[in-house]
C-alpha cells in the first residue's frame, strides 16, 4: 500500500461503509415493489372473492404455483384474487377442480 501518512487508518472503515451502502441500496432495489402499468392494471379481472385476506393469499399462491399470473385485490376493497384476463379461463378451471 502506498504511503498515505496519517490517513491510512481511514481506508478500512471507508471501504467497509461503501460496501455496506452498496448492499443496502441493492437490497432496497431488489425488494421494491414495482407498480403495474395502467395497461396491466386494466387487464386484471376478479376471479374469486373470499372472506379474508389470508384466504386470498392462499388462493393467489395456488394460482401462481400453477403458472398463472395472479394478484390480491387492492387494500380497501373486498378481499379477493385478480388474474390477468388471458389467464381467467385457466384460473376458473383450476379453482373449480
pTM of the model: 0.56
Please give the pLDDT value at position 41.
57
Burial 60-70 (b: 16+ CB within 10 A, else e): beebeeeebeb
pLDDT at 5 over 90: no
Q: Which residues contact 69 (CB under 8 A, 6 or more apart)?
A: 83, 84, 87
pLDDT tens digit sequence for 16-67: 999 999 999 999 888 776 666 665 556 888 999 999 999 999 999 999 998 8
CATH code given to domain 38-96: 3.30.70
Spans of all domains in the chain: 1-32, 38-96
Amino acid at each position: 500500500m502506498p504511503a498515505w501518512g496519517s490517513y491510512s487508518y481511514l481506508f478500512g472503515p471507508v471501504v467497509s461503509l461503501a460496501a455496506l451502502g452498496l448492499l443496502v441500496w441493492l437490497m432496497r432495489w431488489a425488494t421494491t415493489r414495482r407498480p403495474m402499468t395502467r395497461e396491466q392494471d386494466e387487464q386484471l379481472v376478479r376471479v374469486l372473492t373470499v372472506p379474508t385476506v389470508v384466504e386470498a393469499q392462499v388462493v393467489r399462491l395456488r394460482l401462481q404455483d400453477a403458472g398463472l399470473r395472479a394478484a390480491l385485490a387492492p387494500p380497501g376493497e373486498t378481499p379477493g384474487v385478480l388474474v390477468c384476463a388471458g389467464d381467467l379461463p385457466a384460473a376458473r378451471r383450476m379453482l373449480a377442480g
